[in-house]
Amino acid sequence: MTTHSDLARRIHAVSHLTGQFTLRSGRTAAEYFDKYRFEGDPVLLDETARAMASLVPAGTEVLAGLEMGGIPVVTALGRHTGLPCAFVRKQAKPYGTCRLAEGAEVAGRKVLVVEDVVTSGGQIVLSTADLRALGAEVGAALCVIDREQGGTDALAAEDIELISLLTATDLRDAVSDCP
C-alpha cells in the first residue's frame, strides 16, 4: 500500500511546475500544482482516491464533484466508497435537463463537496451555496491538495469544514525528505 509521503512525493513529481502562474483567485504564484497531470494518470488517481476514501465523513450520502477538476476525483472516489456522485456545474446549462447538479439527487441529503486543489476556497463557497439552495446538507468539503492560502478560513466562515488529503507543506516536505 502507498504511504502518505509516497503519494505526496508522486503527486509532486507529476504535477509540480515552476514559473509564473495566475490562479483562479487572481493571485500569482511561482509554483503550480497542475492537477490535470495527476488526474490524468489512472493509476495515480486511483491511489489518490483510495487514500481519500477514509477521509469521507460518516453519514455522507452523496459525493459532489465540482466542475471541472473535481469530476475525475469524485468519480474515482465513488468507486472506492460506493457512494453515488453528483457532478456540479459552475452554472446550470441552458439546454437538456437544465440542471446545476447532474447525476445523484442532492436535495435532502448529506453531501460532501469534492474538489481537487483549494487555494482561496472561492469555488467551493459558490458551489456550496448553490447546492444548499437545491436542498443539500453540506457541512464539509474534501480536496486532494490544500494550497494553504486561505481556503480553510474562507470555508469555515461559511460553516464548511475543509478536509484535505495533502497540503502544499506535505508536498514540499515529501520532496525535501528524499535523499
- Report whether 65 contacts 73 (CB < 8 A): yes
The annotation status of 56 as a binding-site residue, yes or no, is: no
The annotation status of 90 as a binding-site residue, yes or no, is: yes
Look at residues 84, 4, 9, 14 and name the one whose alpha carbon lies nearest to residue 42: 14
The annotation status of 110 as a binding-site residue, yes or no, is: no
The annotation status of 43 as a binding-site residue, yes or no, is: no
The annotation status of 115 as a binding-site residue, yes or no, is: yes
The annotation status of 50 as a binding-site residue, yes or no, is: no
The annotation status of 35 as a binding-site residue, yes or no, is: no
C-alpha cell at 68: 471541472
The annotation status of 139 as a binding-site residue, yes or no, is: no
C-alpha cell at 13: 513529481
The annotation status of 123 as a binding-site residue, yes or no, is: yes
* Cα distance between residue 133 and residue 125, in whole Å: 12
In whole angstroms, what separates CA 55 from the centre of its chain?
12
Look at residues 119, 165, 140, 144 and name the one whose alpha carbon lies nearest to residue 39: 144
Helix (H) or strand (E) holding 117: strand 110-118
The annotation status of 40 as a binding-site residue, yes or no, is: no
The annotation status of 132 as a binding-site residue, yes or no, is: no
Opening angle at CA 45, ends 64 and 63, nearest 5 = 15
The annotation status of 39 as a binding-site residue, yes or no, is: no
C-alpha cell at 60: 455522507
- Residue 68: cis peptide before it, omega within 30 degrees of 0: yes
The annotation status of 111 as a binding-site residue, yes or no, is: no
The annotation status of 9 as a binding-site residue, yes or no, is: no
Which residues fall in the annotated binding site?
A: 24, 89-90, 93, 115-123, 147
> Binding site membership for 5-phospho-alpha-D-ribose 1-diphosphate: which residues?
24, 89-90, 93, 115-123
**Which residues line the annotated binding site for orotate?**
119, 147
